[in-house]
Amino acid sequence: MKKGEEASKKLHADAKVQTEEQTTAAIDKLKTKFDSTKAQVLDIVSNFGKIHSDLQELKAEYLADQGELNNYLQLSSTGSMMQSAMLKEKEQKVTDMQHKIGDKKT
C-alpha cells in the first residue's frame, strides 16, 4: 500500500511537468502493475483456499483411519480377552475331568 501511495504521489507530481501522453502512459503502466499484483494476490488466496480444503480432507481421512484403528484395537483386545476367558474355561473343564477321573480311580 505504501508503494502504491508513493507511486500515486509521483504520478501527480510528474503530471504537472509532463505532457498528457506521458501522463497517460504512466497511468497505464501503473494500472498494469496494479492489475498484475491483484491477479497475483487472487491466485495466492485461491491457492490457500485449495490448500485449506486439501488439509481438511486429509484431516477427515486421518480421523477416519484413527477411528478404524481404534475399533480394530478394541476388537482385538476384546477378542484376546474372550479367547483368554474361553481358554480358562476349557482348562477348568479339563481340571474338573481330571478330578472326576481321579475320584473314580480311588
Domain range list for the chain = 2-105
Supply the pLDDT for residue 3: 83
**For residues 5-31, average pLDDT:** 87
**Cα(34)–Cα(67) distance, integer angstroms:** 49
Contact 34, 8 (CB under 8 A): no
Whether pTM > 0.85 for this model: the answer is no
Supply the pLDDT for residue 26: 87
Residue 5 has pLDDT above 80, yes or no: yes
Between the CA of residue 8 and those of 3, 36, 37, what are the distances in Å? Answer: 9, 17, 15
Residue 97 has pLDDT above 70, yes or no: yes
Residue 35 has pLDDT above 70, yes or no: yes
Q: Which residue has the higher pLDDT, 104 or 60?
A: 60
Q: Which residue has the higher pLDDT, 19 or 87?
A: 19
**Residue in the block written with cell 502493475:** 33
Which one-letter amino acid corresponds to residue 95? T
**Cα(14)–Cα(27) distance, integer angstroms:** 11
